[in-house]
Every structure is written in C-alpha cells, then in structure tokens.
C-alpha cells in the first residue's frame, strides 16, 4: 500500500499516464483508495466533464483491482452512465450487462440511449427484458420507449406500451401523456393523438409542440395553424421548437405570407439566431420558391452546420437550380471542409441526374464507398436514379444487386430507369422480383409500374395496377390518378381515362394536361378543345405544357385555323412565351396540312435558332407530300446541325425511294452507316392474356409463325379481291414488285394483327403498339382487314392512335 501527500497528482499503478485534476487531500487514507467511494467520486467527475479517456483509465484500474471492491454494482452503474453520456452506447451496454440487479434508473438510462441514438429496436427489446425481470417501469421509462416506437413507426408496440402505462396509472402524467401524443401523431393516428391531448388536464409547451409537430408532419397545414392559434389563446407563448415544428407545413402549403409572419415573430423573439430555426426558415422559403430570401438567411447565419448546408442545397435542387446546388456543394466540401450528410448526398445526386452529369455522379459514388455512405439506403436509391437518368442501366442494376438494404424505392428507381431507357418490359420483370422479395408495392412502386404499362400498352397489367391502387387508397393522390389516366389513354381506352378524371377528388394542372393530351393522340380534337375551355374556368391556370397539348391535338386533326389561333393567344391571353416545343407543333400542323412553304417561312421567322426537331417535322411532311426539292434543302440543314437519330436519314432515303431515285437513296444510307447511325427496326407488340408478344419486321421466331404466315397470306388474297394494291413506294430496295409486296406484308404491325386475330376473342378489339410511325401501306391494308374480319383494330404508333373500324380510320388519312 502507499499514501499520497496533499496536492499530489494521482498515478494509478500500472499506468504511466497521470490523470490531471484528481488530487488527494490530507484526509485521504489508503483504505479509501481501495473503497468504492473513491471510484464513484472520480467517475462522477468524469461524467460531469464528459472525460471519456480518463474514465476509460479508471475503468482499466477497476478491472485490475476488482477483488478489492466491495459494492461493484454502484461503480458499474456510474461507468454505464459515463459511457452513455459520451455516446459510447455499445460500451455502456457491455458494462450494463455485468450489473447484477440494475435499478430502474439504470434501465431507463440504457433505453434512453438507444431511443436517442439507435438501434431503436434495441430500446424496445431492452424494455421487454426489463419487464421479464420484474423491474417496474416508472414515469421516466415511458417517454424514452415511446420515442423508440415513434422512430420505428411501430404503432402496435406503442399501443401495448400505452396499456402498460394505463395499468400503472401513469397515462395522465404530463410527461407520459405528451410522449403518447407524440408517438400516435408520428405513427399517423392523429385521431388518437388529438383525443389524448384533449383529455390532458394540464398542457405545457412540450405537449402543444408535440401535437402541432404531429399535424405538421402529415402536411395538414390548416389544422396545424389552427392548433397554433389555440395554443396562444390558451396563454402558451410559442417557443423556438414551435416555430421549427410549424415551418415545414407552411413551406409545403406555399403559404408565403404566413411564413413571413413567422419569420418576423422569430426575429422579435431572437429565435432566428438559432441554427435550427434559421435552417427551418430557409427551408420554408425554398419550398415557397423564394430562393433569394432563403439564400439571404443562409448567408447571414453566424453558424452553419451540415444540416443547414444540406437544406440550402436541397432548396436549389427542388427549385431546379442544379448548377447552383453543385457550386454550393463544392464550396461546402472544398472551402469549408465539411462532411456531407446522407441527405446532402442524396440531393446532390438528384442534381447530377437532372444535369446527366455522369462524371460528378461517379466521383460522388467513389466518395460514398470511401466514407461508407453507400450503405445508406436513401443515398443508394439516389445513386440508382442518377445512373438510370444518365442511361447507365447496367451500373444501376449492378449497384442495386450490391445494396445490403433495399426498399420499394430502390426497385421503383430501377423500374423508372428501365422505362426511361426503353426497357419497359424489364420493368415488369423487376416488379415480379419485388413481389418475390416479399415487398408490398407502395405508391412509389405504382408510380413506376404504370408508365411501363403505358409504354407497352399492357392494358391488363395496368388495370390490375388501377385496382390495387384503389384498394390501397392510393387514388386519393392526384399523382397516381394522373398516371392511371395516362395509362388508359396509352392503352386505347380514352373513355376510361375520362371516367377516372371525372371521379378524381381534386384535379391539378397535370390532370387536365394529361387528359387533353390523351384526347389529342386519339384524334379527338373537339373533345380536347372542349376540355381546354373547361380548364380555363376551373380556377387553375393553363401552363406551357397545356398549350403544347392543345397545339398537338390541332396538329393530329388538321385543324390549322384553330392551331394558329391558340398559338397567337399564348402571349396575349396566357402570358406564356412560346418555346421550342410549341414551334415544333406549329411546323408539324402547317406542314402536314400541305402548307410546306408557309411552314418553311414560319421556321425562318422563329425568334431563336430552330433545332433538329423543327426541321425534322418539315422533312417528314416533305416525305408525305413528295416534295424532293424542299426535302433536300431541309436535309442539308439537318446535316449541318447534326442528326439526332436515324429517323432523318430514313426520311430522306424514303423520299428518294418513293420517286425511284435508288442511287440517291443508297447514298443516304451509306452516309448514315458511315456516321455510325443504325436504323431502328420496326417493332410491334400486342398483349394477349396478360402476356406481351413482340414482333419485328419479317419476324419468323414466334412459336405460332406458321399460323401467322398462313393468316397473312389469306388476308392478302381477300384484300386484293376488295381492291387492295400494295403501295411499293414504301419498300426501300430496288427489287421486283412481287417481292416488294411480300416485304410489305410482313411489316411488324401486320404480323402483330394476324397474331391478335388468331388469339384474341372476336368480341374484343385488337390493340397493337408500334415503335415507329405506321406506313401508308399498312394504314391502307388495316382498313381492308377490318372489313374482312369485322373487327375493330387500334394501332398506336410513335405519333398517335389510329382507330380502324368498318374500313375507316378516325385519322381520316391525315
């Protein structure tokens, strides 16, 4: 044994390090050194100062000298408290497990640690273990465990714990009741939260903030503001936590005037100096699309944490200022050397996706791997979306397979990417994987799946999605209804689209636009214009997309006069400046109607440089009206700009072929091949018994090819009897007429129709979808087929729907 003199620094035997600040006094005896009182006092000092390193040294000494310690539980209790205070939850748990009979205070301490820091399930498991050991929870236990239930959105466990509180007579305790209100509100049971809140005999500021935050969380703006007023009427003055709770719903409701009032209140109360309130304010202004206000608050903040930077970056992304978002992110990382949070990375990856900035996205992926953030599900989902938007589907799928934690959003991102990159059929296969993986499709899944059904004209799949959405209550959302309207429209059921539209709880601008576009592509311009007039009296304001839909509808139906009127009305009546898409519609309208010279002059008078798409619309009309001279002129302009695809080469080649200029047509094809452009083969598909069957021109790979060929030959004989003659101008090869006829007979849409005739009930129409525009010969042949078979045949090509019935097409050959 040894004695310390007054003022000596404590040196623990076996350790070279001196613990500063721990001194003995004249009353310290060597027996006290061995007793637990000294350890308790020194650990308490470490707890107060959060001295983790010194606490660990004392812990080591305790382990070496545990034989001399009489009451070990008190010391372990203090060690547990120290590690919890220093956020070393795992170490705290290890020490806690060695306590023979932990007190309820110690249990509460560990439950609280998990409830605040996670894993939240550990808090719940610990609570039930506490009950198994016959330790009775007290009023401090319930707020902690209910917080864990809130974090997990586990309302069932929360309800069970509610019963436990009732049994102990603690339900009306202000702390317990406030925690119950918070749990029910965050888990979505606002009725129960409100009921408990109303039953409280005494409501403090924390209780009011809990109920207000709950309603705000679920974007119930009016109810949130009403509660805020009631709170003040009850004599409770809102504090900074109240402001932080209210601001999100104000931003989501775009209630700028209310947001400004709250901002003014925060200034008067000096709340705006708080980084949390400041972040909430700039987030509110960003959501109200007032980025200049948001940026002023951001720049004036004396202290900025990672969450503040993330909110400003997220605001830029939400308002489509992607370049600003990237610049601010670079400033955050390279100038201020702050580490981005998962939320920041998710936002900046969305910016990369929008800008298709693959290099930046890949560098962020590398950073994520180094920092371990690629394991975060939200960040991983954003990375999948970025790769998909940049057309890197292999990388997107590869990363999905590597993800350790996947959710429905992960699969939805891949499905959306497949549709955007022209692989809609793969999206349906991935949906099967979701079901096999045991995930229950949610709203995001349906939003990804419905466009795939639209693209493939998979009516039966789409109808199943509609039914599922109704059962799950998704149709209360405008977004899902809009997707369903689009799906039925693209599947040829425009009348069902209108029923869905009419039954919507609330139509937004996208709903009206989608319905008008649907009428347009079905050639029902009168209905499109009628709906457009209704739209103007709905209280909503048409946007630039609405006018694209209207002009496109006029173009599909050849309504030149109406199209000109609405184009001229854009600026005068709606204060909308025409953009490239509007000019494309007008050129298409004029040129398709045969007004080629007027269309050419219209292009020359455009206020900005026309792009390839504008000239392509004119070139397509030159093909239809066989104007070789103008076609050559337009083709030269396209070559200078750089053709976007093979379509323009094919159009020019077709123009030459149609007048027998085979050498010129061959030269165009040679240039096309030399520049690396490959012609997309014509492909058509048809849905039979929920299975999509695809065909390409001349296809002989289908199991029913023999029956299909026989049917086509029978139809050819019968069509000729009715006066059909193959339009060989659409064969691009210099071959004999009979061979041209056979080439035309095996166009993909004709094969798909023959297959449909063999497999679809005579009482049902045949819907065929084609990836390219339908050719004049197929258009003519299908009219004969409807007369022979007495069947309705619908063809959706790359431009519009053609409804064939009784030898007539609703496009009137326009």
Percentage of the chain exceeding pLDDT 90: 64
The DSSP string of 575-615 is: -----HHHHHHHHHHHHHTT-HHHHHHHHHT-SS---HHHH
Question: In the predicted model, what is the mean pLDDT of residues 583-601?
Answer: 94
How far CA 524 is from CA of 520, 562, 622, in Å, comes to 6, 14, 25
Percent of the chain surpassing pLDDT 70: 89
Under 8 Å between Cβ of 467 and 484: no
104 DSSP assignment: H
Mean pLDDT computed over 246-253: 95
Q: What is the DSSP string of 526-538?
A: HHHHHHHHHHHTT
Read off the pLDDT of residues 706-728 as tens digits, 9 standing for 90 and up.
Answer: 999 999 999 999 999 999 988 77
Domain boundary among 506, 522, 539: 506
- HEC states along 230-279? HHHHCCCCCCHHHHHHHHHHHHHCCCHHHHHHHHHHHHHCCCCCCHHHHH
Strand duo 683-688 + 691-696: pairing: antiparallel
Residue 82 belongs to some domain of the structure? no
CA distances from 151 to 138, 219, 276, 597 (A): 21, 18, 20, 67
| pLDDT tens string 358-406 | 999 999 999 999 888 878 899 999 999 999 999 999 999 999 988 888 8
The pLDDT confidence band at residue 176, using thresholds 50, 70 and 90, is very high
Per the structure, the complete domain to which residue 711 belongs is given by 684-809
- Asked if residue 197 has pLDDT above 90, the reply is yes
- Confirm whether 499 is domain-assigned: yes
Strands 766-770 and 793-796, bridge-based pairing: parallel
Query: How far is the C-alpha of 383 from the C-alpha of 396, rounded, in Å?
Result: 8
pLDDT bucket at 18, cuts 50 / 70 / 90: very low
CB atoms within 10 A of CB 440: 9
Instruction: With respect to residue 479, please indicate whether it lies within any of the assigned structural domains.
Output: yes
If you average pLDDT over residues 569-581, what whole number do you get? 93
Q: What are the b/e assignments for 724-740, b being 16+ CB within 10 Å?
A: bebbbbbbbeeeeeeeb
Residue 707 lies in a domain: yes
Decide if 781 is inside a domain. Answer: yes
Q: Does residue 263 form part of some domain?
A: no
Q: What is the DSSP string of 207-220?
A: HHHHHHHHHHHTT-
Q: Please give the Cα distance from 655 to 801 (Å, whole number).
A: 24
Query: CA torsion angle for 158, 160, 162, 165 (degrees, to 10)?
Result: -130
Which has more pLDDT, 740 or 806? Answer: 806
State both tokens at 802: 């053609």
Tell me the whole-structure pTM to 2 decimals. Answer: 0.74
Name residue 495's beta-bridge partners. Answer: none
> How many distinct structural domains can be found in the chain?
2
The reported pLDDT for the residue numbered 650 is: 60
Domain membership flag for residue 23? no
Instruction: Give one word for 135, left, alpha or beta, with left for phi > 0 and alpha for psi -120 to 50.
Output: beta
Chain mean pLDDT for the chain: 87
CA dihedral 622, 627, 630, 633 (to 10 degrees): 80
User: Rounded to whole angstroms, what are the CA distances from 431 to 307, 385, 442, 470?
Assistant: 35, 16, 12, 19
Spatial separation of the C-alpha atoms in residues 213 and 224, rounded to whole Å: 8
In this predicted structure, the answer to whether residue 28 has a pLDDT above a threshold of 50 is: no
What are the tokens at 615? 């000239």
In a domain, 636, yes or no: no
Q: What is the pLDDT of residues 123-137, one digit of tens each?
A: 999 999 999 999 999
């Amino acid at each position: 044994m040894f004695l310390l003199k007054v003022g000596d620094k404590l040196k623990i035997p076996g350790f070279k390090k001196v613990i500063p600040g721990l001194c003995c006094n004249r009353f310290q005896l060597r027996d006290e050194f061995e007793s637990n009182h000294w350890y308790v006092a020194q650990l308490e000092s470490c707890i107060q100062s959060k001295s983790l390193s010194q606490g660990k040294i004392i812990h080591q000494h305790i382990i070496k000298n545990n034989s001399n310690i009489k009451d070990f539980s008190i010391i372990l209790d203090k060690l547990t408290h120290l590690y919890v205070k220093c956020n070393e939850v795992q170490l705290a748990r290890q020490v806690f497990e060695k306590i023979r009979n932990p007190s309820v205070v110690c249990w509460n301490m560990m439950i609280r640690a998990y409830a605040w820091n996670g894993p939240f399930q550990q808090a719940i498991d610990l609570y039930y273990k506490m009950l198994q050991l016959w330790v009775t929870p007290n009023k401090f236990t319930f707020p902690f465990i209910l917080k864990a239930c809130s974090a997990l959105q586990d309302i069932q466990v929360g309800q069970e714990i509610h019963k436990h509180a009732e049994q102990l007579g603690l339900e009306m305790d202000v702390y317990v009741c406030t925690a119950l209100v918070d749990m029910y509100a965050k888990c979505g049971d606002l009725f129960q939260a409100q009921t408990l809140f109303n039953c409280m005999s005494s409501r403090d500021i924390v209780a009011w903030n809990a109920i207000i935050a709950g309603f705000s969380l679920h974007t119930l703006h009016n109810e949130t503001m009403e509660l805020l007023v009631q709170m003040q009427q009850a004599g409770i003055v809102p504090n900074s936590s109240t402001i932080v709770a209210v601001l999100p719903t104000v931003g989501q409701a775009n209630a700028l005037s209310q947001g400004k009032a709250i901002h003014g209140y925060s200034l008067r109360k000096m709340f705006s100096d708080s980084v949390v309130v400041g972040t909430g304010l700039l987030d509110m202004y960003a959501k109200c699309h007032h980025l200049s206000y948001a940026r002023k608050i951001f720049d004036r903040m004396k202290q900025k944490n990672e969450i503040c930077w993330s909110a400003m970056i997220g605001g830029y992304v939400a308002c489509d200022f992607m370049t600003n978002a990237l610049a601010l992110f670079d400033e955050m990382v390279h100038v201020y050397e702050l580490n981005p949070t998962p939320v920041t990375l998710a936002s900046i990856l969305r910016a990369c996706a929008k800008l298709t900035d693959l290099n930046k996205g890949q560098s962020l992926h590398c950073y994520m791997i180094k920092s371990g953030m690629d394991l975060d599900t939200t960040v991983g989902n954003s990375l999948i979306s970025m790769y998909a938007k940049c057309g890197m589907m292999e990388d997107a799928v590869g990363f999905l397979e590597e993800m350790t934690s996947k959710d429905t959003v992960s699969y939805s991102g891949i499905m959306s990417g497949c549709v955007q990159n022209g692989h809609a059929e793969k999206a349906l296969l991935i949906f099967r994987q979701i079901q096999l993986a045991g995930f229950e499709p949610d709203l995001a899944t349906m939003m990804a799946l419905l466009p795939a059904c639209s693209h493939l004209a998979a009516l039966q799949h789409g109808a199943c999605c509609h039914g599922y959405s109704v059962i799950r209550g998704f149709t209360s959302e405008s977004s899902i209804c809009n997707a369903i309207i689009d799906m039925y429209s693209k599947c040829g059921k425009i009348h069902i689209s209108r029923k869905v539209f009419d039954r919507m709880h609330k139509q937004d601008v996208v709903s009206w636009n989608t319905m008008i576009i649907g009428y347009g592509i079905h050639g029902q311009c009168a209905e499109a214009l009628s709906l457009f007039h209704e739209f103007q009296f709905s209280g909503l304001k048409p946007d630039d997309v609405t006018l694209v839909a209207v002009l496109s509808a006029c173009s599909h139906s050849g309504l030149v006069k109406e199209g000109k009127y609405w184009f001229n009305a854009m600026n005068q009546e709606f204060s909308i400046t025409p953009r490239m898409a509007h000019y494309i519609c007008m050129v298409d309208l004029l040129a398709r109607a045969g007004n080629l010279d007027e269309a050419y002059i219209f292009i020359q008078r455009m206020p900005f440089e026309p792009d390839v798409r504008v000239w392509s619309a004119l070139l397509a009309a030159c093909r239809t009206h066989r104007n070789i001279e103008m076609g050559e002129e337009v083709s030269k302009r396209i070559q200078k700009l750089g053709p976007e695809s093979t379509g323009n080469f094919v159009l020019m080649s077709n123009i030459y072929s149609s007048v027998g200029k085979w050498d010129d047509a061959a030269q165009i094809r040679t240039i096309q091949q030399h520049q690396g452009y490959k012609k997309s083969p014509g492909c058509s598909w048809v849905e039979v018994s929920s299975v999509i069957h695809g065909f390409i021109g001349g296809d002989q790979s289908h199991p029913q090819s023999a029956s299909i060929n026989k049917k086509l030959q029978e139809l050819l004989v019968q069509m000729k009897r009715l006066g059909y003659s193959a339009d060989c101008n659409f064969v691009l090869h210099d071959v004999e007429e009979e061979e041209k006829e056979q080439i035309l007979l095996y166009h993909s849409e004709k094969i798909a129709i023959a297959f449909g005739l063999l497999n679809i009930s005579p009482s049902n129409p045949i819907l065929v979808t084609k990836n390219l525009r339908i050719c004049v010969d197929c258009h003519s042949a299908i009219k004969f087929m409807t007369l022979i078979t007495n069947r309705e045949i619908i063809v959706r090509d790359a431009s519009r729907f053609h409804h064939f019935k009784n030898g007539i097409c609703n496009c009137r050959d326009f």
